[in-house]
Amino acid sequence: MNRELKRQIVDESTLSLQQALELDEALEQQGPVARLVGALSDEQPSLAWRSELNAKLERSAARARRSSLSVKWLSGLAAAAALATCAVFVAPLFTSPQQPEPLVLTEPKTPSVEESLVSAHKEADLESGFGVESAEPAPDSGT
């Protein structure tokens, strides 16, 4: 690997295609070093650490639930207030003002034949003075 390439690698400069290929080859040759790093042991967290993490996660979940309930409650109040406002100001726009009932002109009812006969009979009774309600006694019927 030439000095110029090393300098460009240290500077993290953009490499040419040839330089990139040379770098890939150098990385391949560093395989044993990579295997050393891969062979480092992993530390397993203790049960105490896991319990502590679980407790923190539960506290975080409880906080999230509380804030979620508060948001829902406030949202419900806001929605109800908005609906009430709409009902007060908007509803009248959809109801038409009461208009007076139109005057319906109807033709006078012409009395029927029966009604004419009844009214004529009543008038005749009144003129003769006889009838059910007359004060004068009815003429003797022949006794």
CB of 67 to another protein, least distance (A): 11
* Location of structure tokens 């109807």: 106
Angle at 85 between CA 84 and CA 89, to 5 degrees: 120
Within residues 50-109, the interface with another protein by CB under 8 A covers 52-53, 56-57, 60-61, 64
Q: How many CB atoms lie within 10 A of CB 23?
A: 15
CA distances from 122 to 50, 128, 134 (A): 113, 10, 12
* Location of structure tokens 């005057």: 103
Whose Cβ is closer to another protein: residue 17's or residue 132's?
A: 17
CB of 72 to another protein, least distance (A): 16
Q: Give the C-alpha separation, 108 to 129, whole Å.
A: 31
With CB under 8 A as the contact rule, which of the stretches 3-11, 91-99, 105-113, 119-127 interacts with another protein?
3-11
CA atoms within 13 A on the CB side of 74: 6
| Position among 2, 4, 12, 113 found at the interface with another protein (CB under 8 A) | 12
User: Which residues lie near another protein (CB under 8 A)?
Assistant: 1, 6-7, 9-10, 12, 14-15, 20, 23-24, 26-27, 29-41, 43, 45, 49, 52-53, 56-57, 60-61, 64
